[in-house]
Amino acid sequence: MPSALTLPEGLELREDERGLALVGDGMELRGDLSRMLPRLRPANLRRELLVRAARVRGAAAPTAVDATAGLGEDALLLAAAGFEVTLFERDAVIAALLADALRRARLDEALAAHARRMHLVEGDGVAGLRTMGTSPDLVFLDPMFPERRKRGATNKKLQLFQRLERPCDSEGALLEAALGAARHKVVVKRPLKGPHLAGAKPSSSLSGKVVRYDTYVPVG
Ligand SMILES: C[S@@+](CC[C@H](N)C(=O)[O-])C[C@H]1O[C@@H](n2cnc3c(N)ncnc32)[C@H](O)[C@@H]1O
């Protein structure tokens, strides 16, 4: 169990035989990558909008950075699609939950190969992208959208998550760092009708029923 983490009032981290959980307000939140298994079946994975948006041509061993990792579910889709993924998560509590989810996933036969391609770095994604020294084929961004908080979370897991998460205060810096680092493309997840990240018009978009993936191509 990580020590000396500052938690919002009424929340605590507990560890039991199922791993680390954030507990409070009568709710519980764990990182759980196993719930993604149905989406990882090859026929389903191919249809995932993120996987379609993330496709890069000609990279034998493609690399990606998920600069806003959260609980790692989108990064898992990228890892299952063959990317070696570096995940940045700046919130220490969310990073601890994700580290624990990855630890358990590496022990799960169905997830281990994917989880071994996921490398968590606790820290700020903007700084990480600016200093990583290599160019990932893809950078993926999914910062919290302020409207999501206003509308109120629809499920209990999200309600706890949102007590930790801060709305993105650095959309411009995030997109600029991503475009500066990516070799092929930057993919940004947005709510279906949400505005473009930092007001920047993407090169293309793929829309589903509730989310949209905007793709930006770095110049030069
Ligand atoms: C909407 S969640 C991402 C959910 C994630 N795509 C998933 O599949 O679980 C956004 C996350 O990005 C993190 N975040 C936001 N800005 C960040 C930054 N500059 N660097 C690192 N993490 C950041 C937040 O703490 C939060 O955990």
CATH superfamily of 12-216: Vaccinia Virus protein VP39 (3.40.50.150)
Candidate of 32, 68, 138 to mutate for ligand 1, largest count of ligand atoms within 8 Å of Cβ: 68
Q: What is the pLDDT of residue 162?
A: 81
Whether 83 and 54 have beta carbons less than 8 Å apart is answered as: yes
Q: What is the pLDDT of residue 8?
A: 84
Domain ranges of the chain: 12-216
Task: Give this prediction's pTM.
Answer: 0.94
Rg of the chain (C-alpha set): 17
Q: 110: CA distance to ligand 1 center in Å?
A: 25
SS3 call for 89: strand
Q: 46: CA distance to ligand 1 center in Å?
A: 24
Q: 24: CA distance to ligand 1 center in Å?
A: 21
Nearest CA to 128 out of 217, 220, 66 is that of 66
The residue nearest atom 14 of ligand 1, judged by CA position, is 68
Q: What is the pLDDT of residue 146?
A: 64
Q: What is the pLDDT of residue 90?
A: 94
**How far, in Å, CA of 214 to CA of 31, rounded?**
26
Pairing of strands 19-24, 12-16: antiparallel
Candidate of 49, 89, 138 to mutate for ligand 1, largest count of ligand atoms within 8 Å of Cβ: 89
Nearest CA to 102 out of 41, 52, 32, 161 is that of 32
Kindly list the averaged pLDDT for each block of 10 residues, start to end, along the chain of length 220: 76 94 91 97 97 92 97 98 97 96 98 98 96 95 72 65 77 96 97 95 97 93
Q: What is the pLDDT of residue 42?
A: 96
Pocket of ligand 1 (CB under 6 A): 67-68, 70-74, 88-91, 94, 124-126, 142-144, 165, 168, 174
Q: 203: CA distance to ligand 1 center in Å?
A: 23
Q: What is the pLDDT of residue 18?
A: 93
> Side by side, which strands form the sheet with 118-122?
118-122, 84-89, 63-66, 138-141, 185-191, 211-216, 204-207
Candidate of 83, 90, 114 to mutate for ligand 1, largest count of ligand atoms within 8 Å of Cβ: 90
User: With helix as H, strand as E and coil as C, how does 40-72 read?
Assistant: HCHHHHHHCHHHHHHCCCCCCCCEEEECCCCCC
The residue nearest atom 26 of ligand 1, judged by CA position, is 70
